[in-house]
Copies of this chain bind each other. A is one copy, B any other.
Amino acid sequence: MPGNKISLNDAVARLRSAKEAQSFLEDLTTPAERCALEERWRIAQYLDAGELSYREIASTTTVARVARFLKAEPDGGYKIILNRIKP
């Protein structure tokens, strides 16, 4: 494999701003995928803040999925950023 190839994880880690992340995600994901990812991240933040009950939103499947990943590991992926943005 000639040339300089990097993994998706490495590529994402090299994004330097929200604007760059937006451009990259717009290329990488379909509008439907982006919508789903944005919804999961939004739900993760609400769940983490204790501001969301299962009854309050339509897709309990999505909430259950996010909650499972949020609770699975104390230093999991969502938590990295959630802890970082806490005042």
Asked if A9 lies at the interface with its beta carbon under 8 angstroms from chain B, I say yes
Copies of the chain in the assembly: 2
Residue of B nearest to A84 (CB): B14
Chain B residues closer than 8 Å to A23, beta-carbon distance: 75-77, 80
B6 and A80: CB pair below 8 A?
no
Chain B residues closer than 8 Å to A60, beta-carbon distance: none
What is the interface size of chain A, counting residues whose CB is below 8 A from a CB of the partner? 53
Which of B7, B26, B45, B81 contacts A24, CB < 8 Å? Answer: B81
Partner-B contacts on A (CB < 8 A): 2-29, 33-34, 36-38, 40-42, 44-46, 49, 51, 69-70, 75-78, 80-81, 84-87
Which of B8, B9, B22, B37 contacts A28, CB < 8 Å? Answer: B37
